[in-house]
Amino acid sequence: MKTLPVMILLFLALNLSPPPANAQEGLKSIGIRSGISAKKKHEYFHQYEMFTEYGLPWDWRGDSGWGLGVKLDASAGALYGGKAIGFIGTLGPGFSFSKGNRGFAADIGSSLVILNKRNFGTQNFAGKLQFLIYLGLNYRFDNGLGLGYRIQHMSNAGLYNSVNPGLDLHMAAISWNF
């Protein structure tokens, strides 16, 4: 778990930068997420993580305010399964269909995943590099608080021969939105 203090410092450093003039760019939210296995394969899993989202400069909006924004998602946390605990970190792009910074938002994205171990009990992920895709729904209140849900799938996409067990998680989130 030597990687966790480094990820926490990086997370804090990136989030202490001043907000940009354009509200769609820069730091969009920080928060915590927790999830459980959608179904048991070899082991039952749960995950806890802190996350952040950064708005990227590409944003397409109609006159109504509804539109598609591009973001960069990053997270660092712990994955539990098979009586083992390991570090999990993610980084990747995402898209958010919303009406600005408040109200409902539908998200889709993908990330590179780094695990500090590949075996969790009888579950063998075959390698420390994985890939993640997700679909989510969030609600951002006027006071900045946000609640969210997403279903995510993690697998190695066949990188390590034919061993590709995959992991599906239901994740709930609470966030502070800027």
Span 82-116, pLDDT tens digits? 999 999 999 999 999 998 778 999 999 999 999 99
**pTM above threshold 0.75:** yes
Nearest Cα to Cα of residue 52 among 23, 109, 90, 83? 90
What are all long-range contacts of 160-166, with beta carbons under 8 Å and residues at least 24 apart? 160/126, 160/127, 161/126, 163/124, 163/126, 164/126, 165/41, 165/42, 165/123, 165/124, 165/125, 165/126, 166/41
138 touches 105 (CB < 8 A): yes
Tell me what pLDDT residue 19 has.
45
Q: pLDDT per residue over 16-55, tens digit each?
A: 544 444 446 789 999 999 999 998 777 999 999 999 999 9
Tell me what pLDDT residue 116 has.
96
> What is the share, in percent, of the chain residues with pLDDT greater than 70?
87
Separation of alpha carbons 169 and 134, rounded Å: 9
What burial letters (b/e) apply to 125-152, b meaning 16+ CB within 10 Å? bbeeebbbebebebebeeeeebebebeb
Tell me what pLDDT residue 2 has.
56
CA distances from 106 to 32, 41, 42, 98, 119 (A): 18, 28, 31, 7, 33
Backbone angles phi, psi at 101, to 5 degrees: -95, 5
Q: Amino acid identity, residue 129?
A: L
Domains and CATH numbers, the chain: 3-17+31-56+69-177 (2.40.160.20)
